[in-house]
A and B are shown apart, each in its own frame.
Chain A
């Protein structure tokens, strides 16, 4: 079918619920209302109220409940309405979901998916624009996925639902409906932990993910530079090989992310290059990121976001070094 990202999510959930009776979808406003972004539209009608469940407004119990369901053999897919509301449940991810397999030496495991729309640019209120992938990526035991295309969205969400370990699935809500492409009908997988090369070039490696892929590709096109553009797709486990191979080829690198700069995932990427490709570098690595502030409210958020002019300026600095 020809689908947007939000339609790809719905199609993935439908495909998987059809295939596996253990899959349950739940969260706030997901059943009767089909989700505030309509990601779960029609699922309750199709699969029933036992499998598609409206919950109380309780992020801790939604995520902790998902862990418990997984322990009992179900395949929970929890929706957190906005990633800005996930921090209360961070404890459940850190304290239980990520380590219950480790705690019980493999006796128990928590194969669950927490889906949540992340990122700025949709003109929403406070706490509706966060990008905390770096914080989740820092937690050993969690897998963290951020798709940027409809095809990857369905393939990665399918893979997340098949995965034996907990996956935080961050959805770029800014581009939920802005891109459309053909996606297969079946339960194909895009492997978790593998980056995609969106554009092949020789002069510079530009690395980004999620909603930042669009402005990054735009900046590269506007500059007309010969760039390798890597879409990380998975934050953790990080595809270090793709990054290092590309940097060894180009000798220059730029990382673009929407999250705050300090302690952001860009730091981990740069450290990886430092570990494995330092002697190939011809210029210091640039980070084009959000600032070390909360995401500003809608009237100023465009100054916070790495838009193409700021990304292009960074790429130029690296090329001209």
Chain B
């Protein structure tokens, strides 16, 4: 993946100072560092009601902390040049291509599913900035455990597009190839967050120059596993980033039914870790927050980063969102499209002239076509695959089951014919 050098050196130093000393001049902090919800904020934030800190009235409430997501580029494309991360022109353009790729990938995959070539598919339409901005600052040594809606972040770690197609085709080998790039897709929502904590614990024990990132949705934050994982990471100073793509819908359950809290980021206070809420449709804000989060995590400070975005499509191709939400909300979010916003930014920066959108899309389509062909050519496979790799050494009883099933298949070829007739998607 491309390694980005962002202009965050000073910022990081300052934000560490914040944690070290309450005397620090807040004005010196850059915007996204200020947005970090830290213990310093509890003590110093103007958003915090003074009463809440009064020992005579020791209550905190939902109003205690501001949860306005940090933004660099506004939906209309306007921005304060001082807030823009110091990236190379190539990196700015690279972010655009990756977002376009995510969008095109999702469109092509939905088509494949409709043609019966995939089991199901979870479209990422609307999440492009959240995915690309969160994946881009990661390093090769980092690990990424996600939920399946962060494809370009995984591709940036080295995962191939072919293997993402294989994954959604239910080809068991796909997760092997993901694992080779230190990636995994966890289907059980929230349940893999403790693994992330454990991997980070291993990195700490081995003194590795690496962090581990969990990508998960807002629904995952209601699971017990997520609470235990993040709290545990805080206690043990584990280099982990918990990146919540808050797309506001867990199938049909909206965010406000998921939790009575105003944000996911504010939970950082309860877990004793740092957190930030960013506009997940603003790729530069996500990128800046993740860059800072990676720095913090690598120092042993686990971080929650919440990217506020919107799931424009269904939960998956099996889902019909018209059953539970109205178009009006969706329209509002189409107006906040992450790619169009970033195009306006590139125009303002004078970089748009360097973008040939049609050529980029042609290149992406060619890449997708090649991956699609490679996925079609994948094989041949053997039914024995379902028995192997469960244990390092197959126990005798399982070996007997495998042998007996093999004999059955030889004796009754109609079984293969029957399976061939079954639907594949």
Contacts and interface: CB of A to CB of B under 8 A. Distances in A.
Interface of A: 24, 50, 53, 55-56, 58-61, 63-74, 76, 88, 91-92, 95-96, 99, 101-109, 140-141, 143, 164-165, 193, 237-238, 240-241
The B contact surface, by secondary structure, is helix
B55 interface: no
Given A68-B199, A237-B395, 16 more contacts: A56-B228, A56-B235, A60-B228, A63-B194, A68-B198, A72-B198, A72-B206, A92-B191, A101-B392, A104-B178, A105-B172, A105-B173, A106-B388, A107-B176, A141-B390, A193-B395
B160 to A, nearest CB: 14
A103 B200 contact: no
Contacts of A56: 228, 231-232, 235
B236 interface: yes
A108 B203 contact: no
B195 A107 contact: no
B202 interface: yes
A65 B176 contact: no
A58 B389 contact: no
B195 A68 contact: yes
5 contacts: A69-B199, A70-B198, A71-B195, A108-B184, A240-B396
B379 interface: no
A200 B389 CA distance: 37
B389 A65 contact: no
Interface residues of B, number: 44
A88 B225 CA distance: 9
Interface in B386-416: 388-393, 395-398
A88 B191 CA distance: 11
Contacts of A67: 194-195, 198
Interface in B155-198: 172-173, 175-176, 178-180, 184, 188, 191-198
Q: Which of B175, B188, B229, B390 has the most CB of A within 10 A?
A: B390
Q: Which 9 A-B pairs have the closest CB atoms?
A: A68-B198, A64-B194, A72-B202, A237-B395, A105-B176, A65-B198, A164-B392, A61-B228, A61-B232
Nearest to A99: B390
Given A101-B389, A102-B389, A102-B390, A58 B228 contact: yes
A68 B196 CA distance: 6
Q: Which of A24, A50, A58, A101 has the most CB of B within 10 A?
A: A58
Contact of A66 (B198, B200, B385): B198
A71 B232 contact: no
Contacts of A58: 228, 231-232
Contacts of A99: 390
B229 A106 contact: no
Q: Which of B195, B231, B236, B392 has the most CB of A within 10 A?
A: B195
A64 B198 contact: yes
Contacts of A50: 205
B343 to A, nearest CB: 39
Nearest to A141: B390
B202 A73 contact: yes
B201 interface: yes
A185 B201 CA distance: 31
Interface string B9-51: 0000000000000000000000000000000000000000000
Given A65-B232, A71-B202, A104 B193 contact: no
B390 A101 contact: yes
A183 B223 CA distance: 44
B202 A68 contact: yes
A61 B202 contact: no
B392 A74 contact: no
Contacts of B389: 101-102, 104-106
B184 A53 contact: no
A178 to B, nearest CB: 32
Contacts of B229: 60-61, 64-65
A60 B224 contact: yes
Nearest to B226: A60
A72 B176 CA distance: 15
Q: Which of A65, A108, A109, A193 has the most CB of B within 10 A?
A: A65
A151 B389 CA distance: 31
A143 B395 CA distance: 10
Contacts of B396: 237, 240-241
A104 B184 contact: yes
Contacts of A141: 390-391
Contact of A68 (B178, B201, B385, B391): B201
A111 to B, nearest CB: 9
A95 B199 contact: no
Contacts of A105: 172-173, 175-176, 385, 389
A105 B385 CA distance: 9
Interface string B214-231: 000000000011001101
Nearest to B199: A68
Q: Which of A55, A105, A237 has the most CB of B within 10 A?
A: A105
